[in-house]
């Protein structure tokens, strides 16, 4: 019996496959999956959460995250900080998630996980999640659409396009200022925007006027800009042109 359960748990499914699931206050284990777990946040997760809460990047990072440096990796892991007393997510009430519209990617995917080969698996079983015994049946592609996964997938793909080459090249950059700059540009968009517009940044790089307008007003455009900037600065991709220095005028 336990072997059959393990087999179901590790079953790899494609987007056209179906699974049973529903979660609502009437399920006796409601919100139990939001306790005593580690939820890693991507830059896009932080963007959505801080904007949904109406607070600054600084405030969100200080109050709601734990920063975990990674050895030989310039980009640290950012985890959601759980309540100290009950180990629950700070955004969960008895009625459910209070940031539901901006909940992180792992919460949207639950009870699914995505494998390295692009297939999907259930990350739990019906002994722990009674929602898997509900009668609602979902095709995986419909579930992903219902959970509005697409923008998260797009941003995660851009992030992977940055982190994988950085790890492969094993760049020896021990300058803490560079590490801080990378972290700021990805996770602290408010500070990154200040840096872009209050320094000589735009005097040195060629950026289209329309794009400058977008990154000044929209965090998602700014995050994409940050990905491009890191690829330009660390991976040598010719994303931007460099402005020629203007010769000094003689007195």
Per-residue pLDDT of the chain (251 residues; tens, 9 = 90+): 334 444 444 689 999 999 999 999 999 999 999 999 999 999 999 999 999 999 999 999 999 999 998 776 778 899 999 999 999 999 999 899 999 999 999 999 999 999 989 999 999 999 999 999 999 999 999 999 999 999 999 999 999 888 887 766 665 566 678 888 999 999 999 999 999 999 999 999 999 999 999 999 999 999 999 999 999 988 888 888 888 775 555 54
Same domain, 86 and 26: yes
99 and 6, same structural domain?
Answer: yes
How far does Cα 59 stand from its chain's mean position?
17
pLDDT at 236: 83
**How high is the pLDDT of residue 237?**
85
225 assigned to some structural domain: yes
Contact between 50 and 60 (Cβ < 8 Å) = yes
Q: Which residues contact 47 (CB under 8 A, 6 or more apart)?
A: 189, 219, 220, 223
Q: What is the pLDDT of residue 4?
A: 43
| Cα→Cα distances 162→110, 159, 205, Å | 26, 5, 20
| Distance between start and end Cα atoms, the chain | 89
Residue 73, domain member (yes or no): yes
Same domain for 142 and 199?
Answer: no
- 141 and 177 in a single domain? The answer is no
**Dist CA 202 CA 234 (whole Å):** 18
Task: Give me the pLDDT at residue 173, please.
Answer: 61
Domain end position, chosen among 109, 128, 146: 146
Question: Is 39 found in the same domain as 98?
Answer: yes
Q: Where is 59: in which H helix or E strand?
A: helix 57-64
Structural domain total, the chain: 2
Tell me which residue range forms the domain holding 215: 173-242
Considering the entire predicted model, what is its pTM?
0.89
The per-residue pLDDT for 3 is 41
Considering the domain architecture, whether residues 101 and 189 belong to the same structural domain is answered as no
Instruction: Say whether both 16 and 125 belong to one domain.
Output: yes
Q: Output the CA–CA distances (angstroms, integers) from residue 136 to 21, 32, 109, 132, in the order listed.
A: 6, 20, 16, 9
Q: Is residue 155 part of a domain?
A: no
Q: Are residues 45 and 120 in the same domain?
A: yes
Q: Two tokens at 186?
A: 């990805």
Q: Is 156 among the domain residues?
A: no
123 and 16, same structural domain?
Answer: yes
CA distance 76 to 182: 10
Q: Do 8 and 117 share a domain, yes or no?
A: yes
């Amino acid at each position: 019996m336990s072997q059959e359960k393990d087999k179901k748990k590790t079953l790899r499914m494609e987007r056209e496959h179906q699974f049973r699931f529903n979660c609502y206050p009437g399920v006796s284990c409601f919100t139990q999956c939001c306790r005593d777990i580690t939820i890693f946040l991507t830059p896009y997760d932080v963007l959505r959460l801080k904007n949904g809460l109406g607070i600054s990047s600084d405030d969100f990072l200080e109050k709601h995250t734990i920063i975990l440096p990674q050895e030989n990796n310039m980009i640290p892991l950012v985890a959601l900080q759980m309540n100290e007393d009950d180990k629950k997510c700070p955004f969960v009430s008895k009625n459910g998630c209070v940031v539901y519209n901006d909940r992180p990617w792992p919460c949207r995917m639950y009870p699914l996980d995505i494998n390295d080969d692009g297939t999907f698996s259930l990350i739990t079983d019906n002994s722990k999640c009674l929602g898997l015994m509900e009668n609602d049946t979902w095709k995986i592609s419909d579930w992903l659409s219902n959970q509005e996964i697409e923008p998260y997938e797009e941003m995660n793909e851009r992030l992977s396009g940055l982190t994988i080459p950085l790890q492969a090249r094993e760049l020896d950059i021990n300058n803490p200022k560079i590490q801080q700059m990378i972290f700021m540009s990805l996770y602290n968009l408010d500070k990154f925007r200040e840096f872009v517009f209050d320094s000589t940044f735009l005097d040195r790089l060629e950026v289209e006027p329309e794009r400058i307008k977008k990154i000044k007003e929209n965090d998602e455009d700014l995050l994409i800009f940050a990905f491009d900037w890191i690829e330009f600065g660390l991976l040598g991709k010719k994303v931007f042109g460099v402005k020629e220095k203007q010769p000094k005028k003689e007195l």
